[in-house]
Amino acid sequence: MRKRTFLGFGAMFLVSQGVAGGVSAEESSEPNWQLTFEDNFDGTELDTDKWRIDIGNGFFDGDEYVEGWGNNEKQSYQEDNVRVEDGRLILEAREEQTSDEHGDYDYTSGKILTDEKFSQAYGRFEASMKLPEGQGFWPAFWMMPQDDVYGGWAASGEIDIMENRGSHTDEVGAAIHYGDLWPNNTYSEQSYDFPEGQSTTDFNEYAVEWEPGEIRWYVNDELYSTKTEWSTKYGEYPAPFDQEFYMILNLAIGGWYGGDPDETTGFPAQVEVEYVRAYEDADAEHPPPGEKIDPEESDEEEDEGPEPVDETKNWEEIGENLIEDGTFDTTTEFGDENGGSTWNVFNLADHDPNGGKADFAIVDGTLQAEVSQSGWNWWQIQLMQDVSASAGTYKLEFDARSDESRTIRTELTGAGYRLVDVDISEEWETHEVLLRAEEPGDFTVLFGLGNDSDDPEPAVPYDIELDNVRLVEVGEDGESSAPADPNESDNWVESGGNLIEDGTFDETAEFGDENGGFTWNVFNMADHDPSGGTADFSVVDGELKASVTQVGWEWFHIQLMQDVAAEAGVYKLEFDMRSEEARNVRAELTGAGAGLKTFDVDEEMSTYSTYLNVENPGDFTLMFGLGRNQSDVEPAVPYDMFIDNMRLVPVVEGEPEEEAEQPEEEQAPVFTPPGNGASFSVDEDGNWSIHTPNGKEVTPGGGKQTPPGHEKGKGKGNGKN
C-alpha cells in the first residue's frame, strides 16, 4: 500500500529478485523472538488502546489536501466499516454514497493503524488474513515510519508486508519504498505465487522479519523475498529502515494498483483478520536511527562519472557498429524492461497511470515514439538495446527529430559514464555523443524520452523519431584508447609467488559465506531466494567439489570466492576444472577492472588459464561464478563440479633463459578475450556489487546499491571475456 502514487526508478525499471546485499543481518542461530504486540480481536469492539480508525479519502501534505490517498483510490474510510465479531477483525467494503468537505464518494471501506499507539524498529510482524476476491479490491498489511526521521514520503521509507489485487487471488506482493521525496523516490518489489489449491481467499499468515540491513518476507512461514538494497538521500545506510514503524491494515477500492471495480465486482466484501502480532529479538542490540543529512550542505559533490571525452581531439572510427538494426529495417516488435527483443522499451505508465507513456512503432523505416504522457522524469519513457563492448572510447551516433523541440537523454548504462543531454528539434539532425567504457562488459544503450521536472512541458500527443543508430569504437588519430589486453601476448613469464591461499584445497575444511570469514567463501542465491542457484561445497580427495542442485538463472547465483591483495600489474589465473555436465563457468578478479572471463568446461579435468591486467593496487576478490545464465544450456541437476590447483601469479613480458636451450615445443594457445565481461564495483568498505544486463545492480554479498548498468572457452589456456 502507498501513501501516494509510487513511481521511483533509477535509470532502469528495477524489479528486485530478492537478492542479498548491503549490510548483512546480525548473525545468530535463531532470533529470540519476544512478543511485543498482540491483538487476537477478542470481544465485540476494536481495542482503541492499540488501534485508531482512519477516516476519509485523503490526507494533508502541508496545506495541500491529497485526495484518493495519492493513488486515485475511490473509497472513503468510515468508522462504521470496521468491526470485531466472532474473534475476527472485519474491514468491509461497500458500494454506498457518502461525502465530506473534499468531495463525493461511491464507496466506503475500513482502515486501522497503530500510529501513535505502537511502533517498533526491527523484529517480526505478522498477521493472519483472509482477503476478498473481486476486481478493484486492494487489501494491504503495511508499515509507515512513526517520526519520518529522514523526511516525507518516501525518503523515510515504507514497508509493504502484503498487498493484493482482488482480481488475482493466486498471488500477493511485497515491496519497500525509499530513496528520495516524491516524485523522486524509488522502490523494489517481489511477488509470491500460491501453490495449487491455495489462494488469498483462505486464511494465510503474512509476515516480515526485519533486522539492520535485511528485511525478509514470508507467507505461511515460507521465505520468498529478501531485500538488503535500499537508500535514502537524507541518511546513511541502513537508513531509512533503521527507525520505528507502525502497522496498518486496510481495504482500498480502486486506484492504480489493480484498477477500479467493474460490473463483476461483488459488494459488500470483507478482509478478515484473526490476529496481528509483533516480536523483537530479545538478544539483539540494535543501533538507534541515524541522523538526517541535508544533501545541500554536504561538501561532497555528486559523482556524475568520469570527465567527458575531449571532443576537440581527432576521434576516428576503429571498430564495427555494435548496434543491431539501428536502421529499424527488421524490427517488428519490442521487448519490455526485462529484455526479450533487439529493441526494448519501458513506460512508467504501465506501473503508474500518471507516469510517462509512449507508443513505439516502426513507420517508414524509422522508430516513432508517440508520446501521450510526458511524465516528470527523463527515465519514465525509454528505448533500449543491450550491447557487449570492450573497454575504450565510443561514438554514439543517431538521427533524431521531434514534433516538439525538447531535450532527450542518452547513456551507456552500466559503463560508469554520465548521462548526456541531447537537444532535438522539428528538423532531422545527426547527433554524436562520445562515451567511454572503463571496463569491458555488457551494457545498455538507453534513450530517455521522458520529460524531466525542470524541462518545459510539451503539448501532447507528439512524435519523436529516431533512425540510423550506431555505436562504434573510436580512437584518437585512429589509435585505441583501451588498455592493452595481456592475452594478446604469449611472452608472459611468471615473476612472483602464488597469491592464492590453499589453491590445492589440502587445508580447507570449511567455508565462509558471502561476508567472508574463511580462506574460501561461498555464496548461494537460494539462501536468499528459494528459486535461486545453490550448490553444496566440500573438499573430496584434495579437490574442491561443488554439487549443484539448482542452477538458478544468473551466473552469479553460485559463487566460490577468496580475497586477495594485489599490486598493479599483469597476472596469470590458472586452475584445473571438470564438470559432469558440460557448461560455462565465469571467473573474475572483482574490483580490479580486468573483466569477466568465461570458460567452457566439460567432463575431462583440464587446465584453464587467462591473463588479467590490474591497473591499480588494491584488495580484490577472486570469484568463480558457477550459476547459469538464462542464455546458457540448462544442465540436468544434480551434478558435480571439481576444481583444483588454483593459482594467481604475477607475470612480466620476456622469455625464460633456459628455454633458449630447449627444443621448441608446441605451446597451448591463450585465447584473446573479446571484452564481453561483467562490470563489478567495490566500495571503500570492500563490499562488491555486480552490474548485470538491462542496468540492474545486484549485491550478492555485502554492498550498497548504486544506480544501474557479462560471458566463453574450452581446453587448455582458454579463458575468454
Q: Tell me the CATH class for 486-698.
A: mainly beta
What does the longest C-alpha to C-alpha distance in the chain come to? 99
Determine contact, residues 141/128, Cβ cutoff 8 Å. no
- Provide DSSP, 265-333: --SSEEEEEEEEEEEEETT--PPPP-----GGG-SSPP---SPPP-TTS-EEE-S----TTTT-SS---
Distance CA 326, CA 334 (A): 14
Considering the chain, tell me which residue range(s) the CATH 2.60.120.260 domain(s) occupy.
Answer: 317-476, 486-698
Percent of the chain with pLDDT strictly greater than 70:
84
- Confidence at residue 302, expressed as pLDDT on a 0 to 100 scale: 55
Q: Of 143, 157, 95, 146, which Cα lies nearest the Cα of 117?
A: 146
Instruction: Say what the pLDDT of residue 382 is.
Output: 96
Q: What is the C-alpha to C-alpha distance for residues 593 and 570, in angstroms, rounded to an integer?
A: 12
Give the pLDDT confidence score for residue 126 in this predicted structure: 98
CA distances from 233 to 295, 302, 398, 454 (A): 7, 11, 35, 19
8-state DSSP, 668: P
Mean pLDDT score of the chain: 85
SS3 letters across 363-406: ECCEEEEEEEECCCCHHHEEEEEEEEECCEEEEEEEEEEECCCE
What are the pLDDT digits (tens) for 610-646?
A: 999 888 899 999 999 999 876 778 888 999 999 999 9
How deeply is 540 buried, as exposed, middle or buried, from its count of CB atoms within 10 A (0-12, 13-18, 19+)?
A: exposed
d(CA 510, CA 518): 8
How far out from the chain centre does Cα 27 lie? 24
pLDDT at res. 629: 77
Pairing of β 103-109 and β 75-77 = parallel
CATH code for 317-476? 2.60.120.260
For residue 82, give the nearest of 270, 246, 274 by alpha carbon.
270
Cell numbers at 42, concatenated: 477478542
Catalytic residues: 158, 163
Report CA 223 to chain centroid distance, whole Å.
Answer: 19
Q: Quickly count: other Cβ atoms within 10 Å of residue 684's Cβ.
A: 5
What lies within 8 Å, CB to CB, of 581 at 6+ separation is 635, 636, 639
**Alpha-carbon radius of gyration of the chain:** 28
Residue type, 579: S
pLDDT beneath 50, residues of the chain? 2-28, 656-682, 684-721
Q: How many CA atoms lie within 13 A of 573 on its CB side?
A: 28
What φ, ψ does residue 294 adopt, rounded to 5°?
-95, 105
Q: How far apart, in whole angstroms, are the C-alpha atoms of residue 486 and residue 471?
A: 25
Report the C-alpha dihedral over residues 191, 195, 197, 199, rounded to 10 degrees: -20
Among residues 240, 377, 239, 235, the alpha carbon closest in space to that of 295 is found at 235
Using CA atoms, how far apart are residues 135 and 259, in angstroms rounded to an integer?
Answer: 7
CA-angle at 432, arms to 426 and 434, nearest 5°? 145
- Which CATH architecture fits 34-39+114-281? Sandwich (2.60)
Amino acid identity at 19: V
Q: 381-389 and 420-424 as β-strands: parallel, antiparallel, unpaired?
A: unpaired
Nearest Cα neighbor of 705 from 5, 14, 7, 86 is: 14
Strand partners, 88: 85
Q: CB of 565 within 8 A of CB of 659?
A: no
Start-end of CATH 2.60.120.200 domains in the chain: 34-39+114-281
- For 79, list phi and psi in degrees, rounded to 5: -60, -35
